């Protein structure tokens, strides 16, 4: 949710932001609806005030006087009920639209509406040159017997995979490697719930917009998270934090579940796009003045991790129209995939400013004694599945064996994945 004051005092800012996202919303009508809500509510409150005052006198009155006053108060109560219902109805109508309004786009977010408009900020590392025909990760996975999507299809359907043997070990190495780095950087490690209540998804901005992407467990009224961002953000829901605890930084490890509805035919090879994968996620709660710096900090941590894994990548500033509802600005790190001869998304980090904090009511006690909304940010540290396949593809050799990046060797105890004899 964005600040209502924007709609009231600077609707042109909202107009502009929506236009940058390529959305059409009748802002004038929204503003008018809001005005009518307030007008009606105000009239109702005035009636209520008179009714309450009269009620106080009734306690002290006797006889006829009392009876007359009660009759009058009764009429006021009726009137209040009527106006109040009218205001409720208008407000419902307003909220229905208002909750779908995405965050204001940051001035420095890239222009454009699709992935193709993402603005490249930098490239680091060179794509590997092979003197043989490189295999894609699915081929390598089969050859090395470390990824099995055929049997996964039998057991669970399409877009699932088994990590097997050294790839399974690689997962744990990556997770521990990332966690170690993050703890060093001041993050508190977390293993959060992956089943959450609806409010957590609404609060993080995934609902109502992306509802069809989320697995639901109707019998229990719970939902499977697509990222631990959801459970980490909601961790401090409804809280008023002391200012001095900010920034709060969490490193959450969780499995992520995504329905991938509407992606039929896209990325069907291997485990590039699956319904279930594990991820280490960074999440930060900051003072509003600190979120821009924090965003850059998260990005630099992501870059450090990718560099340490010796993967060639580029950083893009995501186009306004391609941002999620809650993000004001987002950076993606795209890593080179030799089989696709292109850079594909490996990590992503967003500054959601006060959008999630407003919905989740996460505030801090500010210096002046009042409360202010915090800012929240999230960023991928390691998306395990994709990182594994990036390692396979980039560090493969002619015989199909794969070299383990040096930084992971201490976690694994081997430096090569070879085809079984």
Partner RNA sequence: GGAGAGGUGGCCGAGUGGUCGAAGGCGCUCGCCUGCUAAGCGAGUAGGGGGUUCACAGCCCCCUCGAGGGUUCAAAUCCCUCCCUCUCCGCCA
List the one residue from 19, 58, 168, 409 that touches RNA (CB under 7 A): 58
Considering only residues 230 to 249 of the shown chain, the ones binding RNA according to CB under 7 A are: 240
Reply yes or no on whether 345 is catalytic: yes
Kindly state whether residue 4 participates in binding RNA, applying the rule CB under 7 A: yes
CB 221, min distance to RNA, A:
6
8 A C-beta contact, residue 47 and residue 74: no
Cα(303)–Cα(315) distance, integer angstroms: 9
Reply yes or no on whether 273 is catalytic: yes
Rounded to the nearest 10 degrees, how much is the dihedral formed by the CA atoms of 405, 409, 414, 416? 0
CB 51, min distance to RNA, A:
6
Active-site residue, from 273, 314, 344, 403 = 273
8 A C-beta contact, residue 364 and residue 112: no
Cα(327)–Cα(322) distance, integer angstroms: 10
Active-site residue, from 17, 254, 326, 348 = 348
Residue 313 in tokens = 């990548």
CB 236, min distance to RNA, A:
12
62: exposed, middle or buried (Cβ count in 10 Å: 0-12, 13-18, 19+): exposed
List the one residue from 24, 59, 129, 262 that touches RNA (CB under 7 A): 59
Reply yes or no on whether 421 is catalytic: no
Give the residue ranges of DSSP H helices in 145-269. Answer: 150-155, 166-184, 198-203, 229-234
Cα(356)–Cα(375) distance, integer angstroms: 8
Given the rule CB under 7 A, which of 49-57, 116-124, 305-313, 413-421 is the region that contacts RNA? 49-57
Residue 232 in tokens = 């980490």
Which residue, 319 or 357, is less far from RNA as judged by CB?
Answer: 357
CB 282, min distance to RNA, A:
26
Cα(4)–Cα(354) distance, integer angstroms: 12
List the one residue from 221, 293, 296, 406 that touches RNA (CB under 7 A): 221
List the one residue from 15, 26, 32, 53 that touches RNA (CB under 7 A): 53
Active-site residue, from 135, 258, 297, 359 = 258
Reply yes or no on whether 258 is catalytic: yes
Reply yes or no on whether 96 is catalytic: no
Kindly state whether residue 46 participates in binding RNA, applying the rule CB under 7 A: yes
Considering only residues 295 to 324 of the shown chain, the ones binding RNA according to CB under 7 A are: none
Which residue, 191 or 398, is less far from RNA as judged by CB?
Answer: 191
Contacts of 226 (CB under 8 A, 6+ apart): 206, 210, 213, 214, 256, 257, 258
Considering only residues 326 to 365 of the shown chain, the ones binding RNA according to CB under 7 A are: 363
What does residue 176 show for φ and ψ, rounded to 5 degrees?
-70, -40
Considering only residues 366 to 385 of the shown chain, the ones binding RNA according to CB under 7 A are: 368-371
Kindly state whether residue 287 participates in binding RNA, applying the rule CB under 7 A: no
Q: Which residue(s) pair with 345 in the sheet?
A: 334
List the one residue from 25, 30, 38, 273 that touches RNA (CB under 7 A): 38
Cα(376)–Cα(412) distance, integer angstroms: 34
Active site residues: 258, 273, 345, 348, 386
Binding site for RNA (CB under 7 A): 4, 38, 41-42, 45-46, 48-49, 51-56, 58-59, 70, 73-74, 77, 221, 240, 363, 368-371
């Amino acid at each position: 949710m964005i600040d209502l004051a924007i709609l009231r005092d600077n609707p042109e800012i909202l107009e502009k932001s929506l236009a940058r996202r390529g959305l059409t919303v009748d802002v004038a009508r929204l503003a008018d609806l809001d005005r009518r809500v307030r007008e009606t509510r105000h009239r109702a409150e005035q009636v209520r005030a008179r009714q309450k005052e009269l009620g106080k006198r009734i306690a002290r009155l006797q006889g006829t006087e009392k009876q007359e006053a009660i009759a009058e108060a009764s009429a006021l109560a009726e009137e209040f009920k009527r106006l109040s219902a009218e205001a409720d109805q208008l407000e419902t109508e307003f909220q229905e639209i208002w909750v779908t309004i995405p965050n204001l786009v940051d001035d420095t977010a890239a222009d454009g509406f699709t992935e193709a408009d993402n603005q490249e900020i930098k490239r680091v590392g060179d794509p590997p040159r092979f003197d043989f025909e490189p295999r894609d990760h699915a081929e390598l996975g089969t050859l090395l017997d470390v990824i099995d999507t055929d049997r996964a299809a039998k057991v669970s359907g399409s877009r699932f995979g088994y990590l097997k043997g050294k790839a399974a070990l690689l997962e744990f190495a990556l997770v521990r490697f990332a966690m170690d780095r993050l703890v060093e950087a001041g993050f508190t490690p977390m293993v959060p719930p992956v089943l959450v209540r609806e409010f957590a998804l609404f609060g993080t901005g995934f609902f109502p917009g992306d509802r069809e992407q989320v697995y639901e467990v109707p019998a229990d009224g719970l939902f499977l998270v697509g990222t631990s961002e959801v459970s980490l953000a909601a961790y401090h829901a409804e809280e008023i934090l002391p200012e001095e605890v900010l920034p709060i930084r969490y490193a959450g490890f969780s499995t992520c579940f995504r329905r991938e509805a509407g992606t039929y035919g896209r990325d069907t090879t291997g485990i590039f796009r699956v319904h279930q994968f594990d991820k280490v996620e960074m999440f930060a709660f900051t003072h509003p003045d600190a979120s821009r710096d924090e965003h850059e900090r998260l990005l630099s941590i992501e870059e450090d991790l990718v560099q340490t894994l010796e993967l060639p990548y580029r950083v893009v500033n995501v186009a306004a129209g391609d941002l999620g509802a809650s993000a004001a600005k987002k950076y993606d790190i795209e890593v080179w995939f030799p089989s696709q001869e292109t850079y594909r998304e490996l990590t992503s980090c967003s500054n959601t400013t006060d959008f999630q904090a407003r919905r989740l009511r996460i505030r801090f006690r500010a210096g002046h004694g009042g409360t202010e909304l915090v800012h929240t940010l999230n960023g991928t540290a390691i998306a395990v599945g994709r990182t594994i396949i990036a390692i396979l593809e980039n560090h493969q050799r002619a015989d199909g064996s794969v070299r383990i990046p040096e930084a992971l060797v201490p976690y694994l105890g081997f430096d090569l994945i070879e085809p079984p004899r």
